[in-house]
Amino acid sequence: MSLLTQFETEQLRSILRTSNYWATFNRNRYPEQIQNAIDNIYQWVECSCNDDCECKNHGCTHHLIRNHDVKFDKLYSHFLNCYVDVRAHDVVREGRTKGRGSNAVIATDYIRTMWEIIQAEEVRGFQKSLICTNWECKPFINISESFQPAGENIYLAKWLSLLSLGTYIAYDNSSVGLLNRDFDNPRTYRELIRKIRGDLITHLTENQINITDFCLSDNPSEFFQNIPVNNPRPIGNILDKLYLVL
């Protein structure tokens, strides 16, 4: 049992509303930064999955697909804006591997070494979301199996989330403890995502709602006027918010 299977959609909506409210006090104003990332590095495209894909059972209509021509430096800027406290940006850019911001540097260096693989056509063009039957691609499987969901690895999860907003889920030092508790201390980040995926599908089925309605439970526009009312709501970002505020 998890938050997703214990709470109905209206209750989750209330949690998301609270999360968006508290985000207005965040120095990065990260919901706005997530929206900027969507606008600059993603396309919102119609779902091209076959009828036998799991997502079709849950009313999927669109997916977020990373643009083919996005360079590493552009993604890196969005990574900092979305996921690294603005006061630590200079420290991280300097590449310090000890002290404050060091884990962000280490994670970024790792992603940089994987960049050629991450930018391969089959990865950039991977048009799936978390509730699709075939929701993973090989390079991301390898990365997600390489670390445990823990405080020292928060920036690896954040990088994966930025690279595939419709699939992967960021976390921070406080929410990772709740995630581990809720999902029986998974051994790897990939195992955590697989368990969350299963519970999300259970939630959609038992509450008889489609994925669009679930995503519309999140309404950052209420508190952030710069975010369009009809903006895409990434699945991974919504699931991050549910645990971020608790």
Tens-place pLDDT, residues 132-177: 999 999 899 999 999 999 999 999 999 999 999 999 999 999 899 9
Q: Which residue has the tokens 């993604």?
A: 75
CA distance 115 to 138: 14
| Selection from 168, 77, 158, 163 nearest residue 124 by Cα | 163
How confident is the model at residue 245, as a pLDDT? 80
Residue type, 118: I
Hey, what's the torsion of the CAs at 182, 185, 187, 192, to 10 degrees?
10
CA distance 119 to 214: 30
CA distance 3 to 178: 10
CA distance 216 to 152: 32
How confident is the model at residue 106, as a pLDDT? 95
Total domain count, the chain: 1
Q: Decide if pLDDT at 125 tops 80.
A: no
- Residue-wise over 25-53: b if at least 16 C-beta within 10 A, else e? eeebbbbbbbbbbbeebbeeeebebeeeb
Query: Band of the pLDDT at 97, cuts 50, 70, 90?
Result: confident
Query: Band of the pLDDT at 100, cuts 50, 70, 90?
Result: confident
Q: Are 233 and 221 in contact (CB under 8 A)?
A: no
Kindly state the average pLDDT of the residues 48-54.
Answer: 95
To the nearest whole percent, how much of the chain has pLDDT over 70? 100
**CA-CA-CA-CA torsion sign (97, 102, 106, 109):** negative
Q: Which residue has the tokens 């990332």?
A: 37
Q: Decide if pLDDT at 7 tops 90.
A: yes
Range of the domain at 46: 3-244
Three-class SS state of 45: strand
How confident is the model at residue 77, as a pLDDT? 97
Tokens standing for 142?
């390898």
CA distance 155 to 176: 12
How confident is the model at residue 4, as a pLDDT? 95
How confident is the model at residue 87, as a pLDDT? 92
